Structure 1
C-alpha cells in the first residue's frame, strides 16, 4: 500500500460575486499561491440559480480574450452556449462539458442558454498550458453525454472527463497528465481512487455530503485539498445523492505570471499578450 492522501485543507471559497448573470464563488488559486494546484489554476462554482424566461437566444457573457491557458466548463443544471473568434460554437447541456484551448490567443463568450427559464449550475476551471504550448493553436472540444464514459462503482458511477479511471479514458485531450472525474454516489455509495503521490489533487463537493478516507466529513460547497503524499482516496456518500468533481494533475515546474484573462510565464509575456489583444490579433 502506498498510503492514503491525507487532507491538507478544506476551503469554503470566497464571498459570492457576480459574473454577468451568474453569481459565483471562487476556490482557486489558493491564497494567491499559483503553484499549489498547478496545472489547475482557477475554479469558480456557480451554484444553482433559477432564471426566468427571456426573449431571444440567451443571456450573453461579453466577448473576452484569453492566452496561455485552457477553460473547462462543466454543466450540472441547465445549458451553456459558447462562441469564439475561431468560429467554434455550440451548446452543452446538463452532465456535459466544454474544453477550450486558448493557446496563442482567442476571444470567446459563454452564457446560460435558458430562453424558457430554468435552473442553472456550473463550474469553470482554468487549466494552465505548459511553457512549450503557451502559443499553441486554439481549439474547442465539446464533451457530450455520448462521449463521456462511465465506470460503475458501489452505488454510483465515476464519469471520466479527462485522464483515466479503472482503465477507461476520458474524451478530453490535454497537454499535461490530468485526471478530471465527475463522481456520482447514492447514499452509502463508495468510490476508490488512486493518483501519483506528487500530483496536485483536490475534490470539490458539488452536492451532498462525503466522508473522506473513513475519517472526515465534508459538505457541499467545499473544496478539499490533499497533501502531496500517499496515493489512495476513499470517498463515501453520506447523503441521498452526492456529486463530486475530482481534480488531479502533474504539477508544472515553471514560473507562473497572471494578469486578468492571461496566464503566462513572465511579466513581459503578459505585456505582449495585452499588446497583441489591443492590436486586434485575437480576432
Structure 2
C-alpha cells in the first residue's frame, strides 16, 4: 500500500486530504484499501475496507469464497453496481443493489462468506467495511440484517448507510458515533459534508468518476482527512458521475488487538472471541450442508 501525506490544515478551512492510497492487491477482484496495519490505526473504529469489482464469468466465481470466521467487529457491505440475492431463515430473502446494505455484527463470533449470491448482471461493484466494536458489544450476541434500501433522500445525493445525518436516521442498528454514507454526485456537482460534533475521524473511497477535494481523487482510491470537525467540500470533477462511500466517526478509544479474523479491545476479549469461533467451527462441521435453494449459505452464529 502506497500512502502520500499533506500538511495539517487550519481548522477554520475546509477539511484537507491527509493520506491517499490505491490500496494493495488482495484476492482476485478484491482490493484492500485499508487495514489495521496502515490507515485502520488512524481511522478506527473503521479498520478494514475492501473494494470489489467483478464482471463477466468471474461474477459466479465469487461463490467460491470459503466460509471464514469473525469476532469483535461488524461488517457492512454496500453495492455501487449490480445486484445480489440473500436467503436466510431469520431474515427472509430478497435482493440488494445500490442503496441496500448487508449488516453483520459478528460480536462474540460467526462464520460467513457465502450468504450472498450474484444476480444475472454484467458487473458487481461495491465496498465491504469492517468496524471495530466498543467493549460492550465486542463479545455480544451476533446479528445479521439485510436492508434492501436505507431510503431515498429527495433532492439529496446521499444514502445514510449507518448513523444519522441531516435528519435522516439509518435503519441499521450500528453503534453510536459512526456515520457511513453512499453518495453519487453528477458530473460538475458540488456537495459539502458537515460532520456531527465529535466526528474528527473522516475518509472516503471512490468507486467511479473523479472528485476534487482540494486534491484530485481518482476511481479506486481512498483518502483520509485531517483530524478535525471541519466540513468536507467535494466536486465531481470528471465527465461521469462520482460514486463513493464516506465515513466519519468519534475516535475509537481502545487499542486494536488483532486475530486472524478478529479485532477486539483487549487480549482477554480477543481470547474469548477466538475460543467462540473455534467452538462454532466444530458445530458448523457437524451441521453439514446448509446451502439454500438460491445457492446461499446463511451466516452461522
| Fold in common (TM above 0.5) | yes
Counterpart for residue 27 of structure 1: 33
2:136 to 124, 132, 136: 132
> 2: distance between equivalents of 1:11 and 1:119?
24
Q: Does the CA-based 8 Å contact 1:151-1:166 persist in structure 2?
A: no
TM-score (norm 1): 0.84
Q: Which structure carries more strand by proportion? A: 1
Query: Residues 110 and 75 of structure 1: is their aligned pair in 2 closer, same or farther, counting only changes over 3 Å?
Result: farther
Aligned partners of 2:39 and 2:47 also within 8 Å: no
Q: 1:11 to 1:52 in 2, by over 3 A?
A: closer
After TM superposition, give the deviation of residue 112 of structure 1 in Å: 5.7
Q: Where does residue 50 of structure 2 map in the other structure?
A: 44
Change (3 A) 1:80 1:261: farther
CA contact (8 A) 1:210 1:217 kept: yes
1:158 paired residue number: 158
CA deviations 1:185-204 (Å, max 9, x no partner) are 11111111111465210010
CA contact (8 A) 2:184 2:243 kept: yes
Residue correspondences, number: 270
Contact residue 81 and residue 90 of structure 1 kept, 8 A: yes
Deviates more, 1:253-262 or 1:136-145: 136-145
2:26 to 3, 12, 17: 17
Give the aligned CA root-mean-square deviation in angstroms.
Answer: 2.7
Tell me the residue number matched to 1:275: 275
Q: Any unmatched runs of 5+ in structure 2?
A: 1-10, 284-299
Query: Counterpart of 1:4?
Result: 14
TM-aligned CA deviation for residue 273 of structure 1: 2.6
Distance 2:139 2:37 in 1: 28
**Any gaps of 5 or more consecutive residues in structure 1?**
none
Query: How many Å apart are 1:255 and its aligned residue?
Result: 1.8
**Conserved 8 A contact 2:97-2:148:** no
Decide which of 104, 107, 110 is 1:103's aligned counterpart. 107
Q: CA deviation at 1:184?
A: 0.6
Q: For the Cα contact (< 8 Å) 2:87–2:115, is it kept in 1?
A: no
Higher helix share: 2
Task: Quote the residue 2:4 is aligned against.
Answer: none
SS of the counterpart of 2:136?
A: helix
Give TM-score, length-normalised by structure 2: 0.80
